[in-house]
Amino acid sequence: MNLSSFLYLCAVKKRTRNFLLIVLGALLLAGGVVWWQYMALVGNAVRSDKVIHLPTGGDMGMLYDSLDRSGAIGSMTRLHVAASLLKLDERNYHPGAYRLTRGMSYIRVARMLRRGLQTPVRVTFNNLRSLESLSAALARQLEPDSAAFARVLTDAATARRMGFTPQTFMAMMIPDTYQFYWNTSSEGFVERMRKEYDRFWNGERTSRLAALGMTREQVVTLASIVYEETKRTDEMATVAGVYVNRLRIGMALQADPTVKFAVGNFALRRIRGAALASDSPYNTYKHAGLPPGPICMPSVAAIDATLGYGHHNYLYFCAKPDYSGYHNFSTTLEQHNRYGAIYHRWLDSEGIR
């Protein structure tokens, strides 16, 4: 082999080696891109459990900002890649509450957001005395603020559309824990509660209602008085029986909680003077029968105790002279007055005015 042939062969080998190196580099680069994209799809995206809230009227900027601020996402860049592959954009921004679970992949996070697969939140309300209080409780758990809830819950037209009066509308709100989507509107909440109310009044409760001879709203109204009189569930049916007995003989209910409601002061321990003179239709010392509507949101236990009221001859009851929350029951006014005198002496001894 002459020198020129040798040099030519070396040049060919060098070009071949360089070509192979270029090809290998390109393959490694392509493989790296494919691997990176693969990790953007299936890689571990979520480092810790977190719930993010995407507000109504938001945009993709708010979405990514919420995800970034949550501190739960491993790489926002990889999430952007996954979102781009799934075409997650302004057209499919879905407000709501989304639960990020540790170990979720980037593609799974992007798919959840694109499809609007939000996680329901548990909404609990009980032991409330007004629709305004309910509005405040809901605003702490759902997206609308208390003013938005109050506008609907205190709206007379809304109450009538649901089949109630403004005074009885509270009766539709059965206290419990419900699952709602976080961005449920105030109107949507009312619609849902109407369905829950109808579901609550099942066949058994409706049967008891007919036997009692009252409407649903009347039972809830009476239950609200029972609930304010005693939180002892084992005593509720007995208290309810006292009021049923009074109603049936045309006797005034003379329920202290209704006077407290009438004057707007549930802290009163002694009902007398100006409070008793209140001319409010809720003052059952001055007005016979049930008040116009519930004086609070009674518990389910109180409603069921009213439906299953105690059958007895008691017409009176007085709190026991202790802090037990229980009562002494009487069939005669004379006996009741004796219990009352003992109770008031105890109040004096405790310095309770």
Q: Please write the tens of the pLDDT for every residue from 274-313.
A: 788 888 999 999 999 999 999 999 999 999 999 999 999 9
Examine residue 153 and state whether it is found in any structural domain, yes or no: yes
Residue 275 belongs to what domain range? 212-312
Are 296 and 240 in a shared domain?
yes
> Into how many domains does the chain fold?
3
* DSSP code per residue over 159-195: HHHTT--TTTGGGG---EEEEE-TT--HHHHHHHHHH
Q: Is it the case that residue 8 has pLDDT exceeding 80? A: no
235 assigned to some structural domain: yes
Question: How far apart are the C-alpha atoms of 329 and 238, rounded to whole Å?
Answer: 9
What sign does the CA torsion over 302, 144, 49, 34 have?
A: positive
Task: Evaluate whether residue 247 is within a structural domain.
Answer: yes
Report the phi/psi class of residue 351: left, alpha or beta, with left for phi > 0 and alpha for psi in -120 to 50: left
Q: Which tokens belong to 2? A: 């002459």
**DSSP assignment of 80-132:** HHHHHHTT-SGGG---EEEEE-TT-BHHHHHHHHHHT-PPPEEEEE-S--SHH
User: Is 173 in the same domain as 262?
Assistant: no
In this structure, the answer to whether residues 74 and 146 fall within a common structural domain is: no
Phi first, then psi, for residue 46 (nearest 5°) are -100, 120
Q: Assess whether pLDDT exceeds 90 at residue 236.
A: yes
Residue 28 has pLDDT above 70, yes or no: no
pTM of the model: 0.84
Say which range, 9-13, 151-155, 328-332, has the weakest mean pLDDT. 9-13
223 CB-near residues (< 8 Å, 6+ apart): 240, 294, 298, 302, 303, 305, 306
Q: How many residues does the chain have?
A: 353
- Check whether residue 57 and residue 96 sit in a common domain: yes
Residue 265, pLDDT score: 87
Does residue 153 contact residue 207 with C-beta atoms inside 8 Å?
Answer: no
- State whether 302 and 248 are in the same domain: yes
Amino acid 44: pLDDT: 87
Q: Residue 52 above 60 pLDDT?
A: yes
Is the pLDDT at 233 greater than 80? The verdict is: yes
Residue 347 has pLDDT above 60, yes or no: yes
Same structural domain, 155 and 71:
no
Q: What are phi and psi of 136, to 5 degrees?
A: -65, -40
Signed CA dihedral, 156, 162, 165, 170: sign only:
negative
Is the pLDDT assigned to residue 269 strictly greater than 90? no
Classify residue 19: in a domain, yes or no: no
Same domain, 238 and 173: no
Instruction: Decide if 284 is inside a domain.
Output: yes
In a domain, 41, yes or no: no
Residues 256 and 294 in one domain: yes
User: Structure tokens of 7?
Assistant: 């040099």
CB 107 within 8 A of CB 41: yes
**Which whole-number Å values give the CA distances from 195 to 20, 156, 173, 188, in the listed order?**
72, 19, 10, 11
Residue 44 lies in a domain: no
Q: Does 308 lie in the same domain as 220?
A: yes
Cα(118)–Cα(108) distance, integer angstroms: 13
Q: End of a domain among 66, 99, 115?
A: 115
Q: What was the pLDDT predicted at 266?
A: 85
With contact defined as beta carbons under 8 Å apart, do 293 and 165 qualify? yes
147 and 101, same domain (yes or no):
no
Interatomic CA distance for residues 105 and 339, integer angstroms:
69
Per-residue pLDDT reduced to its tens digit, 76-134: 999 999 999 899 988 889 999 999 999 999 999 999 999 999 999 999 999 999 999 99
Residues 228 and 147 in one domain: no
Domain boundary among 115, 132, 147: 115
pLDDT at residue number 9: 54
The whole-number pLDDT of residue 4 equals 61
Domain boundary among 115, 143, 160: 115
Same domain, 76 and 138: no
